[in-house]
């Protein structure tokens, strides 16, 4: 894989990751007349829960569902410059033009009942392919392996930035999820704090005396009723206490804290298994499933011995044409109610055809 870094017209970083033999040199310049990148991001701590909330009012102006011919994530054309100056690419990463968090966020810490601080961090966009009409599940295993390497590269890079405490790669897909750009892409957030979900999981693992996900994995492997697919280095299963009507966790068999810690064999194996899982998810209702794919990995500097890397893929779709809405119990009290048993859902996914061949 060849890595080429450059700058966009407003100073944001863009990095090309090429896995195609003979891919052209990435030398195209961004010809757009863009103002310097700036952000008004701020974080405020909720005095009732102790959780940090990001306030990013400048994001109201971000691009919203443009027509395919004006997609900002497609390669540039002579009459249509985009976020990617090149006429083609394999995988590309660039700083988000409308970031929730940024290294140049201004301001200082303000104590008080509701403490405030600048939203220092980093938000990146990861384009998985230059083909606007593709989906992640249609990519080749070789391309997925490249993306795993990109996630690991960016996790290491963002972890080294001042103020970043946790790195979160994720993908949102589908209108029902709220995606505003349909080009196949994901994002990476570098947070200036440890996220509430991760804090809670680390606290549970610490009280357990070690990384509890290892015990959960062993339990799922022994039980077998919720396993969707497995391979030499990974197991995919529906968790016994699944919150979402469709929810699958992909867990490496070895205790690793984050993506950079994966071996070459583990990365290869993940690429194959993940495509199988995505194929079954799309085959369940014979349509592209709306989903969020969220990587859980260790924070930068705390609790790393208790964290166990895993990918959580979940969907709001509870039937082929019905959505699960987060209503009173979920949104008000964070008590989840699932209309589908995890065992039934796992059985349905095991039996589902792989829509793209997997």
Per-residue pLDDT tens for 90-123?
A: 999 999 999 999 999 888 999 999 999 999 999 9
Average pLDDT estimate for 132-151 = 97
Q: Identify the band that residue 178 occupies on the pLDDT scale cut at 50, 70 and 90.
A: confident
Question: Which whole-number Å values give the CA distances from 171 to 80, 86, 126, 132, in the listed order?
Answer: 26, 23, 9, 15
pLDDT at 12 over 90: yes
**123 annotated as ligand-binding:** no
**Which residue is listed with tokens 């061949």?**
357
- Determine whether 255 is an active site residue: no
Q: In sequence order, what are the beta bridge partners of 118?
A: 42
Distance between alpha carbon 310 and the CA centroid of its chain, in Å? 12
Question: What is the value of pTM for the model shown?
Answer: 0.96
Average pLDDT estimate for 25-46 = 92
**127 annotated as ligand-binding:** no
Question: Residue 66's pLDDT is what?
Answer: 79
Question: Residue 358's pLDDT is what?
Answer: 46
- How far apart CA 1 and CA 58 sit, in angstroms, is 36
- How far apart CA 223 and CA 202 sit, in angstroms, is 25
pLDDT at 318 over 50: yes
Catalytic residue among 58, 104, 185, 255: 185
* Domains along the sequence of the chain with CATH: 2-193 (3.30.428.10), 198-351 (3.30.428.10)
pLDDT at 355 over 90: no
Average pLDDT estimate for 181-191 = 96
Percent of the chain with pLDDT over 90: 90
**Burial category of 147 from C-beta neighbours within 10 Å (exposed 0-12, middle 13-18, buried 19 and up):** buried
Average pLDDT estimate for 249-276 = 98
Half-sphere exposure of 197 (CA within 13 A, CB side): 10
**Which residue is listed with tokens 């610490």?**
206
- The whole-chain average pLDDT of the chain stands at 95
Question: Residue 106's pLDDT is what?
Answer: 86
Q: Identify the band that residue 61 occupies on the pLDDT scale cut at 50, 70 and 90.
A: low
pLDDT at 357 over 60: no
Distance between alpha carbon 167 and the CA centroid of its chain, in Å? 10
Helix (H, G, I), strand (E, B) or coil at 116: strand
Question: Residue 62's pLDDT is what?
Answer: 64
23 in Cβ contact with 2 (< 8 Å) = yes
* Residue 147: its H or E element: helix 141-159
pLDDT at 156 over 70: yes
| DSSP assignment string, 294-307 | EEE---SSSSTTT-
Percent of the chain with pLDDT over 70: 97
């Amino acid at each position: 894989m060849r890595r080429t870094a450059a700058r966009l017209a407003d100073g944001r970083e863009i990095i090309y990751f090429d896995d195609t033999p003979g891919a052209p040199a990435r030398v195209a310049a961004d010809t757009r007349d863009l103002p310097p990148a700036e952000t008004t991001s701020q974080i405020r701590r909720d005095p009732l829960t102790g959780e940090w909330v990001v306030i990013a009012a400048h994001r109201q102006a971000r691009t919203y569902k443009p027509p395919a011919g004006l997609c900002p994530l497609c390669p540039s054309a002579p009459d249509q410059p985009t976020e990617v100056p090149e006429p083609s690419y394999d995988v590309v990463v660039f700083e988000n033009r409308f970031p929730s968090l940024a290294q140049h966020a201004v301001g200082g810490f303000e104590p008080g009942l509701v403490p405030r601080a600048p939203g220092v961090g980093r938000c990146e966009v990861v384009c998985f392919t230059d083909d606007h009409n593709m989906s992640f599940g249609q990519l080749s295993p070789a391309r997925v392996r490249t993306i795993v390497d990109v996630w690991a590269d960016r996790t290491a890079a963002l972890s080294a930035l001042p103020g970043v405490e946790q790195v979160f790669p994720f993908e949102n897909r589908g209108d029902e999820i709220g995606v505003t750009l349909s080009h196949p892409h994901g994002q990476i957030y570098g947070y200036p704090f440890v996220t509430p979900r991760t804090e809670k999981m680390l606290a549970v693992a610490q009280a357990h005396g070690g990384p509890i996900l290892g015990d959960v994995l062993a339990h799922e492997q022994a039980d077998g009723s919720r396993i969707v697919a497995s391979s030499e280095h990974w197991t995919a299963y529906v968790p016994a206490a699944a919150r979402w009507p469709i929810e699958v966790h992909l867990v490496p068999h070895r205790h690793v804290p984050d993506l950079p810690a994966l071996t070459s064999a583990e990365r290869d194996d993940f690429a194959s298994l993940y495509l199988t899982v995505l194929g079954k998810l799309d085959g369940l209702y014979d349509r592209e499933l709306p989903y969020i794919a969220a990587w859980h990995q260790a924070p930068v500097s705390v609790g790393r011995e208790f964290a166990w890397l895993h990918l959580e893929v979940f969907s709001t779709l509870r039937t082929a044409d019905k959505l699960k809405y987060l209503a009173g119990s979920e949104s008000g009290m964070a008590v989840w109610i699932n209309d589908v048993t995890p065992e039934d859902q796992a059985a349905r996914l095991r039996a589902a055809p792989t829509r793209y061949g997997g």
